[in-house]
Chains A and B, each alone.
Chain A
Amino acid sequence: MSMVDETRGLARDGAELAVTQRRVVRSEWIKLRSVRSWTVMALAAAVLMIAFGALAASVASGAVTQTGPRPGGGPFASTDPTAISLAGVTLAQLIVGVLGVLFISNEYANGMIRSTFAAVPRRLPVLWAKALVLFGVLAGLMVVATLASFLVGQAILGDGKNTTLAADGVLRAVLGAGLYLTGIGVLGIAVGALMRNTAGAISIVVATLLIIPGLARLILPEDWNTTLTPYLPSNAGSAFTSVSGSDTLLSAGAGAAVFVGWLVVLLAAAAVLIRRRDA
């Protein structure tokens, strides 16, 4: 058996094979694209986003009701047309959040994390690379999906009931929704790295996005509720993904800052634990 004699000349030179952040990003990109179910999840998030926007717009326009078309318009025809067309965000965020979790937690589940950390013993380049790769993929995909959602939704709503990207705050809300979904994917990575356990991490992501905001409204005293809940990741997201703000939300700028703050804090916590814990 002969072991690579021509590569050896190159391979013997350690500098040629130095681990760099760029190479780790490439490695994570190969990992992400080589699991078909993940590709399917990312595309499903985009498709469902558009489909739900179209459905919500159809209901709102009166084209779809329980009893058939209603010429006068749907039951919530008065709501904001941008929000109607972006109705799919609620569903899409769960898919991308779970994708983010899986992208790292699966390595703990099947033991791959050990070869990953053996190759990159400083470890943090792996966390950054995963975040960067998923951010890159989702930013492209989700901004396109939210734009498409918006355009399809407005077309269905029709003249008089719809709005345009040129209207005040609409472009910000639509792009914001795409970036919010991208951020939720990164949040999934951070939670997955913290928990190292797929089921636990998914539970936390779902609870954070869907259950805690509602629960807080139910159980917290009124003044705590109004003070704290706007700072939850999902509500901070709503602040910059809705066209017109509300009393219960932060301003768009503050919401974006708080949302990014969550990502930074969670990634930093994940970084500390990844360095400290045994793999």
Chain B
Amino acid sequence: MPDQGGPLIVIDHISKRYGQQVAVDDLAFEVKPGVVTGFLGPNGAGKSTTMRMIIGLDRPDSGQITIDGRRYAEHRAPIHEVGALLEAKAVHPARSARNHLLADGATTGVTPARVDEVLDLVGLSGAAGRRAADFSLGMSQRLGIAGALLADPQILLFDEPVNGLDPEGILWIRGLLADLAAQGRTVFVSSHLITELGAVAEHLVIIGRGRLIAEIPMSELGAGAEQRGVHVRSPQAGRLAELVRGEGVAVRAGADREVIEISGLDSRIVGERAAAAGIVLYELTPRTVSLEQAFMDLTRDSVDYPAHLDASATDRSAA
């Protein structure tokens, strides 16, 4: 049983390189029990590698990972501890969904009744007997999720679960993550898009180039995003800029000479000052920095690296 007090997954200074390529570099963080933790980072940042190492598929060159105090492989029924969706379509194309799950579950004594139950849970009951080759990406993703839920684990890892899904599939995954969290399960879900996680994650682990960038509660990333700017369009933009510029207020030129972007002032105050000076305004738009922008600001330094790194990471996952 997980100890509700302590961290469930402890990533203890792991490093991993593939040949010359450093995939994960002295990464250390904890995944807390009973909440959804988002695992964010640009493509190629080392998210999938980290997830593979959590369930013992890849071995860290240094450091170690424990789940509930023990290495993954030391658990008697590992998929009962941690269920993972790493990639969709990892199924023999000629095998039926049901047989795929039966084979996977048989290793740990999962009953056929349970297999039917998870098929029902992910909405694949009607396709249980169909060959996996005939599945759409969305169905394959559901089958992968059924596999993760199969042995009723307390911890779930989802690697980019919404990649390539249609809007309906994305909504379904969001609902599923929320349900799993509501049941008190620990969910660790990766994405390269903050917007995918904004709705469900309580906690964020952000990495770039294999290193930890930030480990913060979601609410903090939101709070950091409150610095507002004001978008103004005026025929007298230059005069307005002179008027408002000052302590703690920055003015940037906009897209054309009628537009300026003011930061550090509330839109009401900008409007009042303009009115007082008799300046005509065509537009006055408060700009809130989105979660996306906040995330981009945090990771700006780590996305800007040569494209070949990304390519080799893709090669590996395809191999």
Q: Which residues of A contact B (CB under 8 A)?
A: 1, 3-4, 7-8, 11-12, 14-19, 23-24, 26-28, 30-31, 34-37, 106-107, 110-112, 114-122, 278-279
Question: Beyond A14-B80, A114-B52: 19 further Cβ-contacts under 8 Å?
Answer: A3-B179, A7-B113, A7-B114, A18-B109, A23-B106, A27-B103, A27-B107, A31-B92, A34-B102, A36-B94, A110-B90, A111-B86, A116-B107, A117-B57, A118-B78, A119-B107, A120-B107, A121-B56, A278-B59
Q: Are A7 and B117 in contact, CB atoms less than 8 angstroms apart? A: yes
Measured between alpha carbons, how far is A4 from B91 in the docked complex, in Å?
24
Q: With a CB–CB cut-off of 8 A, which chain A residues contact B111?
A: 7
Residue of A nearest to B113 (CB): A7
List 25 contacting pairs A-B, 8 Å CB cutoff, sorted by A.
Answer: A3-B149, A4-B152, A7-B113, A7-B114, A11-B151, A12-B1, A14-B75, A15-B76, A17-B108, A18-B108, A23-B106, A23-B107, A27-B105, A30-B102, A34-B103, A36-B94, A111-B87, A115-B84, A115-B104, A118-B57, A118-B78, A118-B82, A119-B108, A278-B57, A279-B58
Q: With a CB–CB cut-off of 8 A, which chain B residues contact A1?
A: 121, 176, 179
Known A-B contacts A3-B152, A117-B56; A18 and B77 likewise in contact (beta carbons under 8 Å): yes
Q: What is the interface of chain A mostly: helix, strand, loop, or mixed?
A: helix
Q: With a CB–CB cut-off of 8 A, which chain B residues contact A118?
A: 55-57, 78-79, 82, 84
Q: B43 in the interface, Cβ–Cβ < 8 Å?
A: no
Q: B99 in the interface, Cβ–Cβ < 8 Å?
A: yes
Q: B33 in the interface, Cβ–Cβ < 8 Å?
A: no
Q: B263 in the interface, Cβ–Cβ < 8 Å?
A: no
Known A-B contacts A27-B107, A36-B94; A121 and B89 likewise in contact (beta carbons under 8 Å): no
Q: Are B90 and A19 in contact, CB atoms less than 8 angstroms apart? A: no
User: Which 8 pairs, one residue from A and one from B, show the smallest C-beta to C-beta distance?
Assistant: A111-B90, A121-B73, A17-B77, A34-B99, A27-B106, A30-B103, A278-B58, A18-B76
Q: Are A110 and B103 in contact, CB atoms less than 8 angstroms apart? A: no
Measured between alpha carbons, how far is A110 from B132 in the docked complex, in Å?
11
Residue of B nearest to A37 (CB): B94
Measured between alpha carbons, how far is A221 from B92 in the docked complex, in Å?
46
Q: With a CB–CB cut-off of 8 A, which chain A residues contact B80?
A: 11, 14, 17
Q: Are B109 and A16 in contact, CB atoms less than 8 angstroms apart? A: yes
Q: With a CB–CB cut-off of 8 A, which chain B residues contact A3?
A: 121, 149, 152, 179-180, 183
Q: With a CB–CB cut-off of 8 A, which chain A residues contact B179?
A: 1, 3
Taking the closest CB of chain B, its distance from the CB of A23, in whole angstroms, is 5
Known A-B contacts A1-B179, A4-B117; A19 and B78 likewise in contact (beta carbons under 8 Å): yes
Q: With a CB–CB cut-off of 8 A, which chain A residues contact B78?
A: 19, 118-121
Among A19, A35, A121, A279, which residue has its beta carbon within 8 angstroms of that of B95? Answer: A35
Residue of A nearest to B94 (CB): A35
Measured between alpha carbons, how far is A17 from B55 in the docked complex, in Å?
17
Residue of A nearest to B81 (CB): A14
Among B77, B104, B105, which residue has its beta carbon within 8 angstroms of that of A14? Answer: B77
Q: B96 in the interface, Cβ–Cβ < 8 Å?
A: yes
Q: With a CB–CB cut-off of 8 A, which chain B residues contact A120?
A: 78, 107
Q: Are A110 and B107 in contact, CB atoms less than 8 angstroms apart? A: no
Measured between alpha carbons, how far is A28 from B102 in the docked complex, in Å?
10
Measured between alpha carbons, how far is A18 from B110 in the docked complex, in Å?
10
Q: Provide the B101-130 mask, 1 if CB < 8 A to any CB of A, else 0.
A: 011111111110110010001000000000
Measured between alpha carbons, how far is A121 from B75 in the docked complex, in Å?
9
Q: With a CB–CB cut-off of 8 A, which chain A residues contact B92?
A: 31, 35, 106-107, 110, 112
Taking the closest CB of chain A, its distance from the CB of B232, in whole angstroms, is 48
Q: With a CB–CB cut-off of 8 A, which chain A residues contact B108?
A: 17-19, 23, 119
Measured between alpha carbons, how far is A30 from B81 in the docked complex, in Å?
23
Known A-B contacts A3-B183, A11-B152; A30 and B99 likewise in contact (beta carbons under 8 Å): yes
Q: With a CB–CB cut-off of 8 A, which chain A residues contact B81?
A: 14
Known A-B contacts A11-B152, A30-B102; A114 and B107 likewise in contact (beta carbons under 8 Å): no
Measured between alpha carbons, how far is A23 from B114 in the docked complex, in Å?
16
Q: B63 in the interface, Cβ–Cβ < 8 Å?
A: no
Q: With a CB–CB cut-off of 8 A, which chain A residues contact B151?
A: 11, 17
Q: With a CB–CB cut-off of 8 A, which chain A residues contact B34?
A: none
Measured between alpha carbons, how far is A65 from B161 in the docked complex, in Å?
64
Taking the closest CB of chain B, its distance from the CB of A271, in whole angstroms, is 16
Q: With a CB–CB cut-off of 8 A, which chain A residues contact B38?
A: none
Q: B72 in the interface, Cβ–Cβ < 8 Å?
A: yes
Most chain B CB neighbours (cut-off 10 Å) among A16, A28, A31: A31
Known A-B contacts A11-B152, A23-B106, A27-B106; A121 and B91 likewise in contact (beta carbons under 8 Å): no
Q: With a CB–CB cut-off of 8 A, which chain A residues contact B104?
A: 27, 115-116, 119
Q: With a CB–CB cut-off of 8 A, which chain B residues contact A112?
A: 90-92
Residue of A nearest to B316 (CB): A278
Measured between alpha carbons, how far is A17 from B94 in the docked complex, in Å?
28
Q: B147 in the interface, Cβ–Cβ < 8 Å?
A: yes
Taking the closest CB of chain B, its distance from the CB of A118, in whole angstroms, is 5
Taking the closest CB of chain B, its distance from the CB of A205, in whole angstroms, is 20
Among B89, B100, B109, B113, which residue has its beta carbon within 8 angstroms of that of A23? Answer: B109
Measured between alpha carbons, how far is A16 from B114 in the docked complex, in Å?
14
Measured between alpha carbons, how far is A27 from B99 in the docked complex, in Å?
10
